């Protein structure tokens, strides 16, 4: 009985300490429900991405006579008294997908002094809550573009969604760009006719290698501080995930059987060098993860398994 009582006291103490470090908005039932709904959606979307990618990978393996592969999942937790939460990294290394990672996480805590001024609402109160999903796929074939997608829901004194999707092809760049952006615009227009123009321009400006004076890839959409109407914003966030999942299935399936040479593969590895440069020098998600005590392996999940520089 004494042992059970001690455990109950520990649970109560942890809940009290966690609440102390939660942003004030999460004292309200409405925002508690919205945060939970967002968490659940990101987890369900992760499951969908992993399920469909695994189907594509093992269909390819069956056709080529390779062994089937599986995603490997790794859970991580934050254990600092002022920061709570954790996440799950799902990594697949195969013959179609050289490496694809799908991460989900939910964390709370306080932003450090040297970072809080860069986050909306955190200067007044550095407490935060963040939940999200991040995906990066590096393919074996130089004819299938690298893919990136993320969505996040962040609460400080304010609450908003952010995210986006983009592609980085090595070959057939103009063909892929034209088709991808045509479909992106069609998707965005179903929610707001202004979204595509605004968010594609934001993406173009964001994924830019300043030291090379060039874009990382062919762009896509990028949005942040989306807080006009929570219900409509959430529908758009959900739609962006489903759009990108279906588009990736299409582009991978349509290009997976095309043969390539060693020189074409070398060009892909050189292209990846610029991908690495952006993620280490400019990516806000990398900075956010490092500044908030995230899991290093999950933060650097976007790194390709092989890359070369001249």
Q: Among 153, 152, 170, 136, which residue's Cα sits nearest to residue 244?
A: 136
Residues 227 and 159: beta-carbon distance below 8 Å = yes
d(CA 135, CA 237): 15
pLDDT in tens, 82-100: 457 899 999 999 999 999 9
Active site residue 211: no
Domains of the chain, by residue range, sit at 2-302
Residues 136 and 302: beta-carbon distance below 8 Å = yes
Q: Which CATH architecture has domain 2-302?
A: 3-Layer(aba) Sandwich (3.40)
The answer to whether residue 6 scores a pLDDT higher than 60 is no
* Separation in Å, CA 215 to CA 80, 167, 209: 38, 11, 6
pLDDT in tens, 147-190: 999 999 999 999 999 999 999 999 999 999 999 999 999 999 99
* Separation in Å, CA 301 to CA 38, 61, 164, 202: 22, 24, 17, 24
The answer to whether residue 269 scores a pLDDT higher than 50 is yes
What mean pLDDT, rounded, does the chain reach?
90
Mean pLDDT for the stretch of residues 101-108:
95
The answer to whether residue 258 scores a pLDDT higher than 60 is yes
Indicate yes or no: pTM above 0.85. yes
Close Cβ partners of 249 (under 8 Å, ≥ 6 residues apart):
52, 56
């Amino acid at each position: 009985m004494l042992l059970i009582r001690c455990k109950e006291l520990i649970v109560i103490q942890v809940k009290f300490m966690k609440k102390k470090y939660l942003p004030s908005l999460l004292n309200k039932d409405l925002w508690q429900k919205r945060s939970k709904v967002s968490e659940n959606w990101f987890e369900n979307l992760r499951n969908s991405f992993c399920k469909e990618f695994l189907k594509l990978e093992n269909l390819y393996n069956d056709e080529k006579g390779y062994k089937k592969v599986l995603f490997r999942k790794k859970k991580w937790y934050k254990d600092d008294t002022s920061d709570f939460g954790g996440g799950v990294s799902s990594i697949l290394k195969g013959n179609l997908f050289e490496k694809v990672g799908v991460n989900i996480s939910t964390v709370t805590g306080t932003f450090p002094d040297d970072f809080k001024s860069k986050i909306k609402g955190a200067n007044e109160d550095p407490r935060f809550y963040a939940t999200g999903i991040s995906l990066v796929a590096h393919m074996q074939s130089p004819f299938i573009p690298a893919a990136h997608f993320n969505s996040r829901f962040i609460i400080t004194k304010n609450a908003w969604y952010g995210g986006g999707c983009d592609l980085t092809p090595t070959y057939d760049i103009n063909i892929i760009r034209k088709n991808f952006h045509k479909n992106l615009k069609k998707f965005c227009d179903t929610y707001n006719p202004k979204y595509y123009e605004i968010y594609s321009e934001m993406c173009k400006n964001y994924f830019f290698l300043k030291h090379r004076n060039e874009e990382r890839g062919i762009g896509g959409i990028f949005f942040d501080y989306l807080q006009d109407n929570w219900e409509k914003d959430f529908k758009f966030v959900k739609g962006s995930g489903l759009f990108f999942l279906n588009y990736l299935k299409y582009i991978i399936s349509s290009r997976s059987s095309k043969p390539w040479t060693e020189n074409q593969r070398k060009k892909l590895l050189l292209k990846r060098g610029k991908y690495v440069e952006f993620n280490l020098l400019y990516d806000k998600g990398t900075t956010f993860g490092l500044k908030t005590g995230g899991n290093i392996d999950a933060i650097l999940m976007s790194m390709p398994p092989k890359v070369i520089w001249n």
